[in-house]
Amino acid sequence: MEKLDEDSKAVHPQHVTVSLEDAPAAVLEEGSLDPVYEAKARVLNKAIQDIGMGRYQWQLFIVIGFGWASDNLWPIVTSLILPPIKSELHPTRAPFLTLSQNIGLLIGAIFWGFGCDIFGRRWAFNLTIGVTSIFGLIAAGSPNFAAIGVFAALWSVGVGGNLPVDSAIFLEFLPGDRQWLLTVLSVDWALAQVYATLVAWPLLGYRTCQETDTNCTKSKNMGWRYFMLAMGGTAMVMFLLRFVAFTIFESPKYLMGKGRDEEAVKVVHEVARRNGKTSTLTVEDLRACEGLGEEFAVADRREKAAKLALKRNLQKVDLTHVKALFATRKLAFSTSMITLVWAFIGLGFPLYNAFLPYIQSTRGASFGDGSTYLTYRNSLIIAVLGVPGCLLGGLLIELPRLGRRGTLSLSTILTGVFLFCSTTALNSSSLLGWNCAYNFSSNVMYAVLYAYTPEIFPTKDRGTGNAVTASANRVFGIMAPIVAMFANLETAAPVYVSGALFIAAGVLVLVLPFESRGKASL
């Protein structure tokens, strides 16, 4: 991956002329946003569309995938290390570990999501996985349950920022006709589950105290610590590849939204250079959108920029970005509905996982009739089926009769149906089948949800929109371990509730007002 060299030149660059003719249609209807911002966003969309999908975007596709992988990897880490931690450290309330994780995810979603609309995408993009790796590695040396709970919260602060930030920055560099790649990115989310299961198999399967061991000591239970070192090391490699081997540019539309038109144009030209092309986009092209021409004096431009900078600094602590998500009746309805969808899924998913052990124990001793080999074999089968689910999602969203909303609604409803069906399993084999179906459909669902959500928010408020939806997801996720601590675990009733939540979320998707298939985000 190429580091930024402003003096380097592309070999045989292709010339690209920016024109708004044949510009891709926008997701949000005309008049939803400030007219000057909307006009400039369309100019930048056309510039990126003319440059096309090239070397820079494909490199970004790889490193952005690290964020997707991290978002799924670390919650799985928490669930995998909990049983050996319970055997060794004997916590009074083991679900506190999951609660700590969810609190950290909430803080991360709020801080990085809202923050990237204030201080930009670049720093958040570079730091989130770095924070995760540091505290993940430190957690391997935790002396007691309180310590591992604190470190779980701290590494989750980093994890919570990955999708709100990464989805925004990737979308803002994608040509409008390639936005479906945001859905395909979720294949990294599914592969992370496969990777975690493969690494856990030798470390947790054979270097962990047995459940019947009444004297579980640290020396006999080192598997989860080795596992934490492996996961923390993986995150550190991801961080170094992002920070050292790749140069991330600030989003042009973010810069434009902050009044930094010159910097936005420079980034567009640098992306074009990376892709072996040149662009004719100029600052005047953007200023023409607000009636500014060549007659606009340099001194006046500087004075205007200074005033805008002061105004931006004063607005950093207000609710400007939140209010923008509710600027019109249609935008307000869209924001409210997609937030509610995230909230329902945020409770349904961890609620099912919290009560899964009861279902497993009554249908065949944790999937494998007591065999470690069968337990991890079945877990691996379930994880692998998530990969084609993500790829299928990328295909279905481009179908005219389905699009984003149809695919998201169908996969979400099917996820709830398969949860209901899992309660009918009479043995480990039938439970495995239903869980394979559940994981397949839920991966389609998450792939589309993670792509569709940032598409329906404008760039200048996208981080905030992602933060609002992710925060709703995390707040409701916090409720699941609390329920697990005080509810009766010897019943399948919460699984029915979880299934109902998924079905309700799928129905809500049908009333969302914006369909983003074939349209460019603003």
CATH class of 55-249+324-509: mainly alpha
Q: pLDDT value at position 313?
A: 41
Q: What is the pTM of this model?
A: 0.77
Write down the H helix ranges in 318-402.
320-324, 329-364, 372-384, 386-396
Asked if 276 and 54 count as a contact pair (C-beta separation under 8 A), the reply is: yes
Residue 497: closest CA among 357, 350, 340: 350
Q: pLDDT value at position 487?
A: 66
Q: Which string of b and e fits 315-345 if b means at least 16 CB within 10 Å?
A: eeeeeebbebbeeeeebeebbebbbebbbbb
**3-class DSSP state of 19:** coil
Per-residue pLDDT tens over the stretch 252-281: 888 888 888 888 889 989 989 988 888 888
Per-residue pLDDT tens over the stretch 368-419: 445 566 777 888 888 898 889 888 988 888 888 888 899 999 999 999 999 8
Indicate the angle between helix axes 428-455 and 386-396, nearest 10 degrees.
40
**3-class DSSP state of 278:** strand
- What's the CA gap between 288 and 255, in Å, rounded? 17
Q: pLDDT value at position 355?
A: 67
Within 411-497, strands assigned E span: none
Q: pLDDT value at position 212?
A: 64
**10 Å Cβ neighbour count for 50?**
21
Domain positions in the chain are 55-249+324-509
Q: pLDDT value at position 409?
A: 94
Q: pLDDT value at position 350?
A: 79
- What's the CA gap between 366 and 374, in Å, rounded? 9
Q: pLDDT value at position 362?
A: 56
Q: pLDDT value at position 418?
A: 93
Low-confidence residues of the chain: pLDDT under 50: 2-12, 15-20, 292-317, 365-369
- What's the CA gap between 305 and 124, in Å, rounded? 25
Residues in the chain: 522
**3-class DSSP state of 398:** coil
Residue appearing with tokens 């539309």? 253
